[in-house]
Structures are given as C-alpha cells and as structure tokens.
Amino acid sequence: MADAVIEFPSALARQRPASAADKRLVAALSHLREGWRREGGIAIDRRAEVLDRLAGTLRHYEASLTEAMAADFGHPPGHVRPDAGIRPSHEAIRNLARLCRRRARHWLPRGGMEWEPLGVVAIITSRNDPVQRALVPVAAAIAAGNRVLLKPSEQAPRTAILLERLLAETFTPSEMAVAGGGADTAQAICQTAVDHVHFTGWAGNGRQVMRAAADNPASVTLELGGKNPVIVTPGYPLALAAAQIAAAKLADAGQTGAAPDHVLLPAGSELDFINHFEKATISLYPSLRRSNYSAIVTDKHYQDLLGMIDDARRWGARAYAIHPGGEGPEPGSRKLAPTLLWPVMEEAEVMSREVHGPLLPLLSYGALDEAVAMVNGRPRPPALYLFSRHEPDVGFVLDRVRAGSIMVNGTQWRDAQGNPVCAGIAAYHGEPGIRRFSQPRMIYRRGPLDGLARLWRRLVR
C-alpha cells in the first residue's frame, strides 16, 4: 500500500545535499511553524468556515480530480468510476464542519478537561483512494485546530498536482502546505519538527515511520494495510459470495486497503467458486481493455505481482486467469488479468506479503474451527469478511476471530450515501477524527472562595 520506502540509517539522509524539494519543504514548515507560534491553532469559531470553503473547492474540482485519478489508474476516457472517493470525502468534510459549529456554540472557557490541537500535523498518504486518504484526515486535523502538512502519493501524480492546487486555493500558507516528492520527502518530513505524523501505508513502512519520528520525538498515527481474509461457510450460495467478493476485490484492480486478500472455502467447493467468480468478473468487466478496470500503478508493482504468480506456481498452485471476451489486457497497459490461485501453500509469497493487485488465493478448510485457526494464526487483519446464513456459525466466528472490523454477508464498507460505516477502517472520520488529532489537557481555576472551601473541608473532617 505504501509509496515511500524510508531508508535507514537516517544520519546518512541528513548528510546528502539539500535538493530543491528539501528547500520547499523547509519553507512550507517555516510558514506553518510561524503561524502556530503567532496564533496557535486555528480558532474554534473559524474551523467550520474553513471546512465549508474546502468542501466548496472540492466540489468545484470534482470532475478534474475524477479524470486525474482515471488517468493515474489507467482507466480509458468515458469509463471513469463515478465518485472515486470524492463524494464520500465531501460528505465527511461537511459532517466535520457541522461538528465544529456545534462545538463552537457550546464552547466555554472554563476549567476541566478540554481538547487542544496537537500543533503542526504531517499527513503522508498512500496511492489507494488518493483523494479520500488525503482530504478526510486533513479535514479532521483542521477540525481539531491543527496546521497541516500533506504529502500526497507520488504514485498518483496527476491527482497530487490537483490536490496541491485545490488546497492552495482554500488555505493560507500558515494553515496548510503540500509537499511533493517521493521517499526522500517522506523521510525528511518524519525527521522534521512536526508534532504528529499520520501515515497511511503498509506495516513495514509504518515501523520505519515510527523510528524516524522518534528522533523528534513526534506522536504517530498509523493506518496500516494488511491481509483481509474471507470465510465462506458451508451452505452459503457460492454465486452470491463470489459476486460480492469480485466487486470488492477488483475495484481499482485490488489496490484498495479494504480489498479481500484471500478466501477460505469449504473443501470441495473451490472449482464451483472459481466458476462463479469468473462469471461475476465478466459481468463487472466485459472487457479488460475497454472498461474502467484499473491498471497497476507502477511497473515495479506489476512485476512484483507477476513474480507472486510464478512463486505460487512453484509451490504447486494453478493460476486461473480470467480474460473476459477471450482477450487479455492490452500489452504495455500494466493491466493484470484477475487471477485466482489454488491450491495455495502457506509458504507461497502471495500468502506472506500484501498483494494490492487482482490476485486471489483460495484456501480450503474442513471444519469451521480450522478456518478460524488459519485466520488467527496470522497477524491480526484490518478486516474480515464472513459469508454465512447459519447464525451459530456467525456467532462462533465473531467470538473467536480477532480482526479490526468484521463484515457479515457483504463487502461494502459504505452506506447508501457513500459514507464510511466502519470505525476500524475509517477511525479518523467524524468525532473520533477530531479526538485523534487533539490532546486532552486539564484546566484548573482558582476563585476567591477557594480558601473558605479548604477551611470548610478541614472543619468537617
């Protein structure tokens, strides 16, 4: 999921000559720091106004951003995903503005527990859903009163340029800055004097972000990827499960953080599932060349995915590639045909790495407790998808599996309006987002009657 691989030891990075990008980063941080020193956080009675302005600018750029993402992900003209995460982002921003208005109306400068902004917050995003992964945490950080430095994904370059333009039209340089660049920029941000780093990416890079941020030190929020398993229990219609799994897996060609990673099937049902998955894929994408089926973002990751297929074959798996209409992806397009792998050995590379592509390993189990053991024997997944019509089986899995979030009989983490419904995946939305980018502080007030109160407490003891 991550874009920037942060190299260590960090001392070597500090010794290299300063680039133009470094100088722009220093200038941007200087504006943000000066704004924080001069005025503190964004005033609570201004936050709703600023977020309303952001929502309006996003609406103005909606068509341009949609086309930019289509180009970044290899969608042909006329086959653009309808919202591409923009409308959910717009609704999330408007919701945060409403929360800010409510907070401003009820805010009183009195003692007790209050929430204050962290300071200068750096947000480093991934290529997956590049608009939503950038703007929703930005809006939450602004709603908490912070000044924000955004580093968008360099692997969605057209989208990153438009995001920078959009945010420059919305905020002043002392409120918001955008840092372009790749791994060097991400590393430099983690080692600069920011107060908090919010990182979206894969777990290996997340650990390196924490090490780099510790030199400041800065607090860190990690929204990490992982391997999201699917369990299909006996008796659940395979055609229905395959249709839901295909829709979630093949959105952006499997390059989303919530995409199913592998499927656990009752032994003996694998070939039927493969058949239904193929039909569902053809229904969704009648042609891989003339549809909104996404390309793999970089040549390197495309080659990595081909390597995973070869490695799975060496471990005895068969690769079932799906070519709707009998034609494969156009050569040179970086589009990879949806490919199911079965039977897959645990030792295969595809079972140990985050895939982020249209590869779907299939595993078999006998009894349901065996499937649960297979899930719990791996690192805790961000999400689990369970398909079952037998309520005791549902309860059995919910009681035993440890996962960030669990979806039963579905794969869509949004309601009918496109809003996130899963706190485990979208914990920086709404009120939890404001709290995430704030810190509590206690305020004690002394009054003229404090001495009498202390005397009274002594007398009544």
Give percent above pLDDT 90 in the chain: 51
The pLDDT of residue 399: 96
pLDDT-wise least confident of 88-97, 271-280, 403-412, 443-452: 443-452
The pLDDT of residue 445: 67
Angstrom distance (rounded) from CA 275 to CA 239:
9
Interval 323-337 mean pLDDT:
86
- Tokens coding 416: 């009918």
User: Is residue 418's pLDDT more than 50?
Assistant: no
Helix (H/G/I), strand (E/B), else coil: 408 = strand
pLDDT-wise least confident of 32-46, 181-195, 421-435: 421-435
User: Is residue 110's pLDDT more than 70?
Assistant: no
Cβ burial 146-172 (10 Å sphere, 16+ → b, else e): bbbbbbbbbbbbbbbebbbebbeebbe
User: Is residue 119's pLDDT more than 90?
Assistant: yes
* Mean per-residue pLDDT over the chain, rounded: 84
User: Is residue 11's pLDDT more than 70?
Assistant: no
Burial label, 294 (beta-carbon count in 10 A; 0-12, 13-18, 19+): buried
**Angle subtended by helix axes 47-60 and 62-72, to nearest 10:** 60
CA 375, 303, 255, 185 dihedral sign is positive
pLDDT-wise least confident of 26-40, 203-217, 414-428: 414-428
User: Is residue 426's pLDDT more than 50?
Assistant: no
User: Is residue 109's pLDDT more than 90?
Assistant: no
How much helix, strand and coil, in percent to the nearest 5, is found in the chain? 45, 15, 40
User: Is residue 456's pLDDT more than 80?
Assistant: no
Q: Which among 66, 112, 187 has a CA at the least distance from the CA of 444?
A: 112
The pLDDT of residue 61: 93
Q: What is the pTM of this model?
A: 0.79
**Which residue has tokens 């980018």?**
437
User: Is residue 15's pLDDT more than 50?
Assistant: no
User: Is residue 220's pLDDT more than 70?
Assistant: yes
Domains of the chain: 10-225+429-443 (3.40.605.10), 228-408 (3.40.309.10)
User: Is residue 215's pLDDT more than 80?
Assistant: no
The pLDDT of residue 419: 44
The pLDDT of residue 224: 77
Out of 66-75, 166-175, 178-187, 250-259, give the one with best mean pLDDT.
166-175
Give percent above pLDDT 70 in the chain: 84
The pLDDT of residue 16: 43
Q: Which long-range contacts (CB under 8 A, 24 or more apart) does 397-404 make?
A: 397/231, 397/368, 397/372, 400/369, 400/372, 400/376, 401/372, 401/375, 401/376, 402/376, 403/375, 404/226, 404/380
The answer to whether 13 and 194 have CB atoms below 8 angstroms apart is: no
User: Is residue 12's pLDDT more than 60?
Assistant: no
Regarding beta strands 405-408 and 339-342, do their DSSP bridges make them parallel or antiparallel, or are they unpaired? Answer: unpaired
The answer to whether 265 and 237 have CB atoms below 8 angstroms apart is: no
Interval 321-341 mean pLDDT:
89
**Which residue has tokens 């595993």?**
363
The pLDDT of residue 414: 54
The pLDDT of residue 269: 97
Q: What are phi and psi of 4, to 5 degrees?
A: -105, 120
